[in-house]
Structure 1
Amino acid sequence: MLRIAWSTLRVRWSSFAGTFVALAFGAALMAALGQVLASSITSPDRGPQRYAAAPVVVAPDERLTLRTPFGERGAPLAEPRGLDPELARRIPGAVVDRIFAAQLAGGPPAVGRPWSAARTAPQRLTSGRAPAADDEIVVTAGARVGRRVQVVTAAGSRSYRVVGIATAGPQPTVFFTDGRAARLSPRIDALAVWRPATEVRTALAQASATHASADHASTDHASTDHASTDQASADQPTSDQAAPGQVIASGAAPRQGGTPVVSTEVKVLTGQERALLDPSRESDEQARNNANTIAGIAAGFAGFIAVFVVSSTFAFAVGQRQREFALLRTVGATTGQVRRMVYGEALLVAIAASALGALTGPLATRPILDLLSSLGMAPAWLLPSTSSVPSYVAFGTGVLVAVLGVVVAAWRAGRVRPAEALRQAAVEPRAMTPGRWIAGGGLLATAVISMAVNAVSDPSGATNNKTFMPIVMLLIAAAGLLAPVVVRPVANLLAAPLGRLRGAGALVVPAGAVASTRRTAATAAPVLMTVALAATLLGGAAMTDATKAAMRIDPVRADYVVLPSGPAGLDRQLSERLRAIPGADVTTVTPTSLYTLEGAGTQLIQRPAEAVNPATLTTALSVPVTAGSLKELRDDTIAVSPTWEVSLGQRVRLWRADGSQVSLTVVALLGADSTADAYVTPTHALSARPSLAYVKLRPGASASASKALEQAVTGHNARSMTKSAWAGTVTDRAASASRLGLLAVLGIMLSYTVIAQVNTLLMAAPDRAGEHGALRLLGATKGQVLRYVVAEALLVVAVGVLLAALATALGLLGLYAALLQLAGPVAIEVPWQPVIGVIALCSVLAVLATVLPASRVRAVAIPT
């Protein structure tokens, strides 16, 4: 049968051309996406930037490590702890580096550093001189030598004179004198050393031994002077306490007054390790993760679309060859032989197409990486992988997809009876077989049940693409399988307007679609998939973004919101000026982190928290509380959400953002729709700066309060907005952030589905040649035939669009049910502009793919 399969392919190559192209493109797409995934994993990290010229860098070990009965548990700290100043004195020639937010008023986000640290990159003067006085600075951009500028730091805004311009570094920088930088930021963030690493490690070991001796002596003294111990120290567990976890290697000394927590645990970085301290490190990792996520999602959709397309095209090809299979049965071919022949055809096509796609697919790796990079979804410095593994995987996947896609078609081919060879006309079998009913209904039921379970048990999980996208796939597959059921009523409904036209078009166009429901369903399937993917994913993203924005906006009672113009946050001077405005209640919100040991001490969890002023919190926000009261929120208490799984009044041992331990009593349980996971007082914010401030005007406040608010933010790199204006920015920011990656995935997937649509229509063209020739014999002009073809193509597109609308509506309704639990009623929104663009593209391609073959048909092309 393999020889017959080969002969069939040679004779009927046009019937398999669409399948070949679809498989080749699918294999190429999977190979390219696999290379993108490999590139994001195997590309070397960007070389050191901030300390490129320093051979050795000493930095604090910014990790919290706990010892539990199940072993050590660790997590990165959210708050830098700094190095012991004694280390700088023990390492001769070490350059002390302090890195802190310092931004020119109205300028881009920047950091402040001591001028002596400029040599670490290195950054050199291009004009002017080095700073020598406390009011002198060197900048990398944003000002000219001799000008006086306002510089905003954590303390506030102050005037400085620009005395020099330095070359650009890894980020915009304002250089101060070493003394001024030490006063602005006492914390030592790193030591840059131009000495052998072995000498540095020896000096650190000696310093550690000295520090341990001093700690032992201070511990003995503290044991006789309990009166000097503060609350935080009292909460530390002793060595004989059966605590769930004990801090080790944290190097955190108790915080005394305003002095920074000092780390005694350090790391010595050389070579590529120095890049761990670069400012782009976190964004680079995030961009890598984005590239991984997009490539993974797109590859999953590529596999789904490949199975969908191949199965539909093979089923369509088998339907076209009913009499051929019947003739084989007539001459003695068994059911198994016919099926093996179909499998053989699929394997031959799949092997050739997958090999072609696997070889050519990696050529698209660089363009895809450039696309993702332009959208900010991948680092620009990623190098395309040279691994051959993605090509092998794509080849094997292509062959497997072909075999899976042809299973149903082969089964149908084997059921063809020999008597069907006697038919003079091709009569389409039943549109819906029991197996198709079961498969379509089963997929639909699975999707509906999954949506119901998500809405009831995990509504927040429904907003995750990893949860929502599989449901979309199930709905599209179910709609494709059940499509023949609705072809007749939908075709008659859509063709009703044609009845008002003169001529036979109103009768012929719907009759052609209804007479062959399977063919109509097969040609409409790519349109269904293309439009449904775009509408459901974009609509779901829009609804999810609107819900998240509403959850953040609706609880706000404040009249104004003050936001920083960069990531540094609001400075202390600005906060004081805001609180001094007559008739205004001001609430600053400072994001921080808390660490908890959960799962019987097996997991160290980093939890987000917000530090707020309890006295004004409920004035600015409507905070849902299910038990307890926020009035009890103090420095030794905490309010938590249900995810903490703790009870009211329970004492909870926590580790703050810098690794220092504290025990807090739960005095309020927040509702499930709370915007914060936990609330603490500003004492626990440490050195973090507020991310925003809510301003609520008291009744009877003077009209000058808003003007005073504008004056307060001037020169502090902040802006004041009304609640309505701020709400618009929150919605726009959420939408733009979430849709970039989705648009990238859709752009890759739609190219595949568009090719599938053209292939299916071209495969159907030979079957229609007889009908078109008969119309010519009956007296129809070429123009009339082409108009008939265009009308029929548009009708098929309309059928696909209507099916896509049904699948989209069901998917968005299921998502709506889940979002309803989170934020109440939300608008079911579909971004119509891109969806209409996709529909228009499908319509144009459908017309071209049907008109071009029909334009070559002559009147002699009579069906046999």
Structure 2
Amino acid sequence: MLWLAWRTVIRHPGSVLGALITLVLAATVVGAMWFVVDSDERQRPVVERYAGVPLVVGTGGIAGALPPGLVRALDALPEVARTVPDLTFVAPLSVRGATVSVPGDQYPSPAGHGWGGAALTPFRIERGRPPGAPGEVVMDARLAGAAGVAVGERVEVAVSGVFRPYEVVGVAVAAGAWRHQSALFFTDDHAAELAGRRGGVDAIGVYPAGGVDQESLGRAVGRVLEPYNRRSALPVRVSTGDARGRAEGNVITSSGGGFNTLWFLVYTTGLVAVGMVSAVMGLSLRRRGRELAALRAVGARPGQLRVMLVAEAVLLALVAGAVAVPLGGLLAPVVAGRLREFRVLNAAFEVHYTPLPALWTVLFGVAVALTASMLAVRRAMRIRPGDALAEAPAEGGRLGRGRLITGLATFVLAVALTVVLIGNLVALPEPLGPMIAQLAIMMALVTSVGLVAPWFVLLAGGLLRPAAARAGPTGAFLATANVVFNHRRFAGAVGSLTLGLTLAGAIIGTQFFHDWRAAHRATAEVTADHVLRPSAINNALGEELRRELGDGAVGVRMLPITVLPEGRAPVMMTASLATGDLTRVLSLAVRGGPLGGLEAGQVAMSEELAARHGAGVGSRVRIRLPGAPAEASVTVAAVFAGTTELGQVLLPSAGPLQAEPYAAIYVRGPLGREVSSAAVVSHDRREYVESKARESAERNRVLPYISMLIGVFCLVAAVNSLCLAVVDRRREFGAMRRLGMRRGQVMWMAGWESVLTVLPVVVLSLAAVAALAFVHAVSAGGMASLVSFIPFAWLAPLAGGALLGAAAGSVLVVRAVMRNER
């Protein structure tokens, strides 16, 4: 049987070509992602900023969270020779009116530091001298080269949204590699003023005393940090070795706990590949029904056929793996580059080629082929030996009614869930309840459409048959008749394509709905006339800018804190600090005291957080601020409606943490002057609402591409199946030629068969996506945005590609099959 499997593969390549193409495609994509995943897990964090210090104390990037008392406590340790406090803040550079961005940097703007922190890399002056006054700056040599600046020239630096002029007094070079970030150095006092830290620092570099090894130094520092880390979800970390790269914020990867985008892509591709390869191999076996029946008739046992078919699958997988591994290696840098754009991978990421991903790619191909083969073999074993004596193929049989009944049942389920969601028949807890219901409706609808699609094609063909008969050309009538009679032949292609189009449209349409909802929430919550936010090159706005905008300006800053529920583990939450009267710029339902009247020892909580922890107005809760040596007991003075404009906890602006620099400044009334610049973006209310939709799309921009990947997989599998169904129709085409049909008429007929199969699928998929858009529109309270939830721009290329690929592929296959026909 193994010999027979090999002879089948080499003597009948058409019977396995479709499965081989699908396997190669799946293994190539998975192989490329496996090279990226393997490289990601082998990637060592790049250490640049803290390369010159053996141990760094930090809070993972929380600005100004380390208090002066901690610096003094570390300095007092006998194991410590000295400490170097470090400040890091975004400092966009402008030279001769043009913003400078260095290719290859992890972030679009340079980072500002005090000159005292230059020792952490370390940096040394190559030209000029260190900064000695507030109006002086030192640039690193790489940044100076990109900007074309020499010592003595003047530049502008925007910190917290305000541009200030500086004279370049020096150019510094790093002792080690300096490839993925840029630095500007100011005097220490001026850097503290620009960063707005009020005495707190971002990180502390610790140098050991003579004779103290790194392990002893780490233990000593750890003892000092124990009070800061007791019952805290925001620990003060000790970083040594490669961990210093994470401490300096020069790494963004998909690994490290939580949701892993790369593995999700691998799992998704693998799951879709199993379904697509199974469909193609099932079609291949149906086409070989007479051959298998003949083997049964001459005495082959079912077990022998299973061995033969499984052996064929393994041979296909090995051939596919040999082709897919080098193709995946070529595709991996392209995938990595795209993921860098999405900030899933960092700028320092490099693809490493090792044998392990290649081995896993081959094993993946074997596993998929075996799984698909076992699923297809079950159907092959139902073939009777007597079928070998039949003259006509069994393609004209009817589809099983179980598929139709299941499809209709899932459609009824989708309708029932829609009625529950729209009619509010069941109280669904916000916000997860409606989201889960919408997800269930989407999955039920996609499943239903995928199951009933072959029946829909059959129905569409039956409706078009009379018109095709009256149209005149024989090819039109035969194309329609073949679609109706041989609809089982096209069932695999129909199911694959319907699944791909509908799932891609449903996912992207749902994303459009959530983007719209983000904008709709902003419309209801924001009453400010203008909102100022940092541009892409900046990350904060300062108090100086807020004061220039007048008393109607309200600045809001976000930061993480730890909430300590009674008897439960600490939980990290996002908190807000505000300067100004929030009620002037936000419309929020509030219970208890006014949000602007919080005093020391008081907080306000969102309704969701208060309900989760059983807190209310007047309740006492325990919180821990970033870098605080002890927790604090505070009173909940107010409870406000949840909003994306504020964190889950609102802290009083008077306290140990400064309210600025701000993430946004809200202004009621006219601005009075132009404030937009390279570092500040000013939105009026309409523009701000639109920006919220864009931000939602930006946060989830990987999801549409994943759904399109699934759609393309399904499209290729569907076109592959349609073309594969044409390969073995040589006798049928020959009979048509003997009856007087020209070769062009036969090719025209085959092309229209594909179009008449694909077009109903496109219509059905679009109807399903429109139905889901209707559910979103009604659940949102109106039909005005219905059309905007249908992703026409994303579906059009898929649908067009399916129509063009199916028609062109069928015509080319017929031409190849009939090349010797006269």
Q: Per the alignment, do residues 457 and 36 of structure 1 end up closer, same or farther by CA in structure 2, a change over 3 Å counting?
A: farther
Letter in 2 for 1:56: P
Does the residue aligned with 1:131 lie in a helix, a strand or coil? coil
Counting only pairs closer than 5 Å after superposition, residues 700-779 of structure 1 correspond to structure 2 as 705-706=670-671, 708-710=672-674, 713=675, 717-739=679-701, 741-742=702-703, 744-745=705-706, 748-749=709-710, 752-779=713-740
Aligned to 1:51: 50
**2:571 is the counterpart of 1:609:** no
Aligned equivalent of 1:402: 369
Could you tell me whether the CA contact under 8 Å between 2:417 and 2:437 is conserved in 1?
Answer: no
Q: Secondary structure at the match of 1:517?
A: coil
Counterparts of 1:267 and 1:643 in 2: how far apart (Å)?
27
How far apart, CA to CA, are the structure 2 residues paired with 1:486 and 1:685? Answer: 67
Counterpart of 2:769 (choices 787, 808, 815) is 808
Provide the C-alpha distance between the structure 1 equivalents of 2:477 and 2:783, rounded to a whole number of angstroms.
50
Taking the TM superposition and a 5 Å limit, the aligned residue runs for 1:508-587 are 508-565=478-535, 566-580=537-551, 585-587=552-554
Contact 1:291 1:378 in 2 (8 A): no
**CA separation in 2, counterparts of 1:111 and 1:806?**
51
In the TM superposition, what is the alpha-carbon distance from 1:608 to its structure 2 partner?
0.9
Shift of 1:652: 1.0
Alpha carbons of 1:469 and 1:378: their partners in 2 closer, same or farther (altered >3 Å)? farther
Q: Does 1:163 align with 2:169?
A: yes
Deviation at 1:822, TM superposition (A): 13
Q: Over residues 228-272 of structure 1, what are the superposed CA-to-partner deviations in whole Å (9 max), with x where a residue is unaligned? A: xxxxxxxxxxxxxxxxxxx952189xxxxxxxxxx9x98775543
Structure 1 counterpart of 2:106? none
The alpha-carbon distance between structure 1 residues 789 and 26, as it changes in their structure 2 partners (threshold 3 A), is same
Larger CA deviation: 722-731 vs 662-671: 662-671
Asked whether 1:99 is paired with 2:99, we answer no
Deviations 1:92-116 (A, max 9, x none): 6765544345555785644432334
Provide the rounded CA distance (Å) in 1 between the counterparts of 2:561 and 2:258: 29
Q: Deviations over 1:783-839 (max 9, x none)?
A: 33332222222222213323432453455556667x749999776523323321222
Q: Which ranges in structure 1 are unaligned for 5 or more consecutive residues?
A: 64-74, 213-246, 253-262, 698-704
The 1:273/1:721 distance shift into structure 2, 3 A limit, reads closer
- The answer as to whether partners of 2:113 and 2:184 remain within 8 angstroms in 1 is yes
Q: Which digits, 9 at most, give the CA deviation of each residue in 1:194-241, with x for residues without a partner?
A: 9657189989999999xx9xxxxxxxxxxxxxxxxxxxxxxxxxxxxx
Q: Distance in 2 between matches of 1:371 and 1:631?
A: 44
Instruction: Name the CA distance, whole Å, in 2 between partners of 1:492 and 1:289.
Output: 56
Taking the aligned partners of 1:458 and 1:42, their CA distance within structure 2 comes to: 42
In 1: Cα distance, 2:656 partner to 2:330 partner: 50
In structure 2, the CA distance between the partners of 1:313 and 1:858, relative to structure 1 (3 Å rule), is closer
1:688-699 superposed matches below 5 A: 688-697=660-669
Distance in 2 (CA, whole Å) between partners of 1:23 and 1:831 is 29
In the alignment, what sits opposite 2:186?
176
* Structure 1 counterpart of 2:284, from 317, 323, 345: 317
Deviates more, 1:688-697 or 1:364-373: 364-373
Match of 2:105 in 1: none
1:332-481 to 2 correspondence within 5 Å?
332=299, 342-343=309-310, 345-350=312-317, 353=320, 357=324, 361-362=328-329, 364-385=331-352, 388-428=355-395, 430-437=397-404, 440=407, 457=428, 460-461=431-432, 476=446, 478-481=448-451
Q: Are residues 1:250 and 2:228 paired?
A: yes
- For 1:326 and 1:309, the matched residues in 2 are separated by 25
Q: Which residue of 1 aligns with 2:587?
A: 622
**Distance 1:9-1:629 versus aligned 2 partners, 3 A rule:** same
Following superposition, the deviation at residue 488 of structure 1 comes to 1.6
Q: Tell me how far 1:774 sits from its aligned partner.
A: 3.1
SS of match in other structure, 2:572: strand
Mind listing any 5+ residue stretches in structure 2 that lack a counterpart? 101-108
Q: Deviation per CA, 1:369-416: give whole Å up to 9, x if none.
A: 234235543224334455555455444443443344344533333333
1:428 partner SS: helix
- Paired residue for 2:637? 667
Q: Relative to 1, partners in 2 of residues 1:841 and 1:484: Cα closer, same or farther, differing over 3 Å?
A: closer
From the superposition, tell whether residues 778 and 555 of structure 1 become closer, same or farther in structure 2 (CA, over 3 Å). Answer: same
Structure 2: how far apart are the matches of 1:349 and 1:620? 65
CA deviation after TM superposition for structure 1 residue 274, in Å: 3.3
Q: CA deviation at 1:310?
A: 2.3
Q: 1:679 to 1:98 in 2, by over 3 A?
A: closer
Say if 1:718 and 1:815 are closer, same or farther in 2 by CA, change over 3 A. Answer: same
2:807 aligned with 1:851: no
| Greater C-alpha radius of gyration | 1
CA drift of 1:573 comes to 1.7
Q: Which moved more, 1:752-761 or 1:588-597?
A: 752-761
- Mapped partners of 1:502, 1:539: distance in 2: 41
2:774–2:783 CA contact under 8 A, matched in 1: no
Give the distance between the partners of 1:299 and 1:207, measured in 2 at CA: 41
Q: CA deviation at 1:678?
A: 2.8
- Give TM-score scaled by structure 1 length: 0.77
Q: Deviations over 1:12-57 (max 9, x none)?
A: 33212211332343234333323322221222121x21132x2434
User: How far apart are the structure 2 equivalents of 1:777 and 1:121?
Assistant: 83
CA–CA distance in structure 2, aligned partners of residues 826 and 653 of structure 1: 45
Secondary structure of the structure 1 residue equivalent to 2:185: strand
The residue matched to 1:304 in structure 2 has which SS?
helix
Q: State whether residues 543 and 827 of structure 1, in contact with CA within 8 Å, keep that contact through their aligned partners in structure 2.
A: no
Q: Does 1:190 align with 2:204?
A: yes
Amino acid at match of 2:71: D
**CA, structure 1 residues 28+503, in 2 after alignment: closer, same or farther (shift >3 Å)?**
closer
Contact 1:571 1:716 in 2 (8 A): no
Question: Quick one: structure 1 residues 137 and 391, their matched pair in 2 at CA, closer, same or farther if it must change by over 3 Å?
Answer: closer
Rate the CA distance shift 1:448–1:18 in 2: closer, same or farther, 3 A.
farther
TM-score by length of 2: 0.81
Trace 1:628-667 onto structure 2 (pairs within 5 A).
630=595, 633-635=598-600, 636-644=602-610, 645=612, 646-648=614-616, 649-659=618-628, 661-667=631-637
Identical amino acids, percent of aligned pairs: 26
- Equivalents in 1 of 2:589, 2:493: separation in Å? 53
Instruction: Letter of the 2:622 partner, please give it.
Output: R
SS in 2 for 1:518: coil
CA distance 1:828–1:451, change in 2 (3 Å):
farther
Q: Distance in 1 between matches of 2:678 and 2:451?
A: 61
Change (3 A) 1:723 1:160: same
